[in-house]
Structure 1
Amino acid sequence: MAELNYNHLRYFWAVAQDGNLSRTAERLNVSQSALSVQIRKLEDRLGHALFERRGRALHLTEAGRITLDHADAIFATGDELLGTLKETGTARQAVRIGALATLSRNFQISFVEPLLARTDIEVVLRSGSQGELLNALQSLALDVVLTNQAPVTDALTPFIVHKLSQQPVSLIGTPALLGETRAVAELLRRHPVILPIAGNGVRGGFDALVDRLDLRPQIAAEVDDMAMMRLMVREGHALGVLPAIVVRDELGAGTLVEAEGLPGIAETFLAVTTQRRFPNPVVRQLIDRAMQDRFDHA
């Protein structure tokens, strides 16, 4: 069986991205006729038409869409290879990690910490929204996504969700604000609280808890960013509903203290990967280490 000509595939890939033969020919500095010949050869090799013309625009057929999906993966893998071996004579493994922009910075640091002293590893840490990061993961621009929101998975988006840590959530505040009181109900009667925004799993658990306790606490702020919650709680005007890892340094220094835990409420930290033929082995090591730490501290 004749092998696939990857030059033909790259020309097809370029046209599929532009959706216009003349624009692609101009961008690649080749003639339209030469470009058409390359695509026709690929179609002959695959045995299927890849485009259909509608007016002046080219639209992918079903076979074209399948071919484009494979081309995306093939050329992304090529870019990954070049990035990994970009230093002449030196193999330096790149690890591309995406992290939800609102995720605890302490958790992110604890995840990547084993790599920071290694000279054979280059860490690329990118933050963004859940949708942006998962799209980058699917296109192989990221190796793993750190989040506290489990993504929806189905046959077309086969995400693999690894539960790295589950941190209990407490009421946290300054020593002056808490005084000698550590009881949840009493503190919620006395002081306003800073909460995650509605729709967050921790917020849902908190709302259910105060309903069971028949309390209506004063809400000082609703925040979707753990780093911002940490700063606001340090100001000493309200209590924060937070996992202790978010304010680990402040708890260690005594500038913040932890009241009783909120029963049944926890923040879950996840690593999301996707099915790949050649997964990054360093990511597996990081996930295994994080999960082992979870079991060791259970």
Structure 2
Amino acid sequence: MEWLNYHHLYYFWLVARDGSIAKAAEQLKLAHPTISKQLRQLEASFEEKLFDQVGRNLVLTEFGQTVFRYAEEIFTIGRELQDAVHGRPIGRPLKFEVGIPDVIPKLIAYLLLMPAFRVDEDIHVVCHEGKHEELLAELALHRLDMVLSDAPIGPTDNVRAFSHLLGECGSSFFGTSALTSKYRRKFPTSLEGAPLLLPTVKTAVRRALEQWFYSEEIRPSIVGEFDDTALMKVFGQDGVGLFPAPTVIEKEVCRQYNVQVVGRTEAVRERYYAISVERRLKHPAVVAICESARQKLFEYRKGVSSS
């Protein structure tokens, strides 16, 4: 095993942080040549340059910037360890890393995640967007605390994790005032031949929509398909076509995109899950999200679809 010389790394960190060997030497009460020698030895162990000389200044190379980020984390944690040992307050916020697949509507993600910012503890929320499978892989490696999803963990997901249902609601269709006046009457049969913007076929809601169209014998004209439902709504705002969205965010969609409700259906259910590696939830942010979604967000807005 190769061992890292943390004394050398510490000298590097001080030089990079303070911007000069002279300042680091003064703080460490060491001679300038001593620190220069330590830096050269660290570069030799990495086989990469850490600094470039620009005039009289030392500038971190791209590799040096990477090493500095790690060093910053290492020595910050070291200070916290000393504080914890001596009973001093640590002051470091609890990090909450959440994965958000691109199929989750941004408004839904916002409403679900907002309780994490309101917990009593000091929480630092980090949101990662990506493909569902990639985020689950990160969760399995414990790089994420939770993944939002529109479907529970399936048999083909090679991840040991647990699905926690946050809530469900029906679907609403939206359009500009011109399209709404044309297609609202006799909904849903009015969707026959209507221009529709839909999520791509890989999403659970798209599959549910297709089944509903088939059962209602409706053949709409699909003019656009989108991985990003926010982009879908922007095209809908411009009158390109009608588009669906969860009924639970109906008011927000109408206000943000200046559109109107064409119609609603409870036959197309949209479900949202918190996926974690824990069967019993412990992280305070995850607990807050689950409790708020079940007790307030979806419960409170059940009546929207019948209004």
Shorter-chain TM-score bucket reads 0.5 to 0.7
Describe the shift of the 1:148–1:89 C-alpha distance in structure 2 as closer, same or farther (beyond 3 A): same
Aligned partner of residue 206 in structure 1, secondary structure: helix
Corresponding position: 1:165 with 2:173: no
Change (3 A) 1:263 1:245: closer
Given that residues 213 and 219 in structure 2 are in contact (C-alpha distance below 8 angstroms), is that contact kept between their aligned partners in structure 1? yes
Instruction: Provide closer, same or farther for how the CA distance between residues 291 and 153 of structure 1 changes in structure 2, counting only shifts above 3 A.
Output: farther
Does residue 1:235 correspond to 2:235, yes or no? no
Q: Name 1:112's counterpart in structure 2.
A: 113
Counterpart residue identity of residue 207, structure 2: G
User: 1:149–1:28: structure 2 CA closer, same or farther, 3 Å change rule?
Assistant: same
- Partner residue in 1 for 2:219: 216
Q: Kindly, what percent of the aligned residue pairs are identical?
A: 23
* Residue pair 1:164, 1:269 contacting (<8 A) in 2 also: yes
Offset at residue 233 of structure 1 (A): 0.8
Cα deviation code 1:95-123 (max 9, x no counterpart): 11111123111111112212335671111
Equivalent residue in structure 2 for 1:251, among 229, 251, 254: 254
RMSD: 3.4
User: Is 1:295 equivalent to 2:291 in the alignment?
Assistant: no
* Alpha-carbon offset, residue 241 of structure 1: 2.4
Q: Where do 5+ consecutive residues of structure 1 fail to align?
A: 1-10, 12-24, 30-78
Residues 171 and 89 of structure 1: CA distance in aligned 2, closer, same or farther (over 3 Å): closer
Give the letter for the 1:236 counterpart.
G
Distance in 2 separating the partners of 1:187 and 1:207: 16
- Do the aligned partners of residues 103 and 137 (structure 1) sit closer, same or farther apart at CA in structure 2, a change above 3 Å counting? same
Tell me if structure 2 keeps the 8 A contact 1:230–1:247: no
Note if contact 1:196-1:224 (Cα within 8 Å) is conserved in structure 2: yes
- What residue identity is the alignment partner of 1:120? D
Report the secondary structure of 2:192's partner residue: helix
Structure 1 position 150 matched with structure 2 position 166 = no
For residues 245 and 137 of structure 1, the distance between their equivalents in structure 2, rounded to whole angstroms, comes to 27
Which residue pairs with 2:94 in the alignment?
Answer: 93
Residue 195 of structure 2 is aligned to residue 192 of structure 1: yes
SS of structure 2 residue aligned to 1:286: helix
- Secondary structure of 1:238's counterpart equals coil
The alpha-carbon deviation at position 164 of structure 1 amounts to 0.9
SS at match of 1:285: helix
Specify every segment of 5 or more residues in structure 2 that has no aligned partner in the other structure, as ranges.
6-73, 84-88, 303-307
Match of 1:265 in 2: 268
